[in-house]
Amino acid sequence: ASAKMDGDYGYLRVSAFNEKTTDEAQAALADLRAKNPKMKGLVLDLRNNPGGLLDQAVGISDMFLEGGEIVSQRGRDPRDIERYNAKPGDDAGGLPMVVLVNSGSASAAEIVAGALQDRKRAEVVGLTTFGKGSVQTVIPLRGGMDGALKLTTARYYTPSGRSIQKTGIEPDLEVAETGEQAQRIANKAFQFSEASFRNALNAEEGKARRGAHVPAEAPPEGFDAKKDFQLSRAKDVLRYGSVAATPKLPKPAPKMAAIVAPKGAAAAAAVSAGEEAGEKK
């Protein structure tokens, strides 16, 4: 974990969840706040974070929550529920927060984004996360002499009861890194995620991952390609106070629509022509 200032805002990057992640993040944030008492908000960057240890996901979430549920782990038996709760104390002192995610944010990263989004502690900017919300248990065989069996035993649920598995965490403001990426999302050609695996475990409540849709916000003409567009939009959300209050950029038109519409129109015309021919007989 590393922290720095970006203008008026703190920036905390967590790239994975290992044994030291929470300790490192707490130290980095405390140092940043001590040196910058006028900090106006915080961006927590979880992009391309593949996940890691559950207790560290709970620890990072707990840094910003004063109490209440962070995540629950539910097995096949409805009574088999483990809940993880936050302890009092907010390391960011209640500063406004945005969490940055993308399709490379998985597992423990999704637990953090989902907890902070559900508990209204942060708004989420970027792209829908990977959707790895299943729990594996390693069962030693003959005391480990015959190796071990890795079994999927439970799913992770956010505080509001959403399963992360397959569907992922959807951002409050969808922002692509580039115009090309926005078009790929619109056309669903690029969505590599947990849902891409043919036999992936479903989200229990039967929700499907969002399919092709209107393109995400993309860098406007003249935006410096060397700059981080997703981060710049995260700072806009902090500046305006919420995603709702942030002026939206005009959405680029989906390029596929231009190709699909005429085909659809031609097919419809052919059908109606066929019907007319049938009527004339």
User: Is 163 an annotated catalytic residue?
Assistant: no
What does the block give as tokens for 58?
């709970």
| Active-site choice (107, 134, 163, 193) | 107
Q: How far apart are CA 105 and CA 103, in angstroms?
A: 6
8 is catalytic: no
Residue given tokens 């981080």 in the structure block: 228
Q: For residues 155 and 204, what is the distance between their CA atoms, to the nearest angstrom? A: 8
The residue among 46, 66, 241, 64 whose CA lies nearest residue 128 is: 46
Catalytic hit among 91, 118, 172, 236: 118
Distances (CA, A) of 276 to 264, 265, 268, 279: 18, 16, 12, 5
- DSSP string for residues in 137-182: EEEESGGGTT-EEEEEEEEEE-TTS-B-TTT-PPPSEEB-SSHHHH
Token pair of 211, please?
């399919």
What does each C-alpha distance from 104 to 127, 166, 181, 194, 274 come to in angstroms? 9, 13, 14, 10, 48
The answer to whether residue 107 is catalytic is yes
For residues 237, 234, 250 and 266, what is the CA-based torsion angle, rounded to 10 degrees? -130
Q: In this structure, are residues 175 and 237 in contact, taking their beta carbons and an 8 Å threshold?
A: no
Give the closest residue to 81 by CA, choosing from 153, 131, 167: 153
Annotated catalytic residue within 45, 62, 105, 132: 132
User: Known catalytic residues?
Assistant: 107, 118, 132
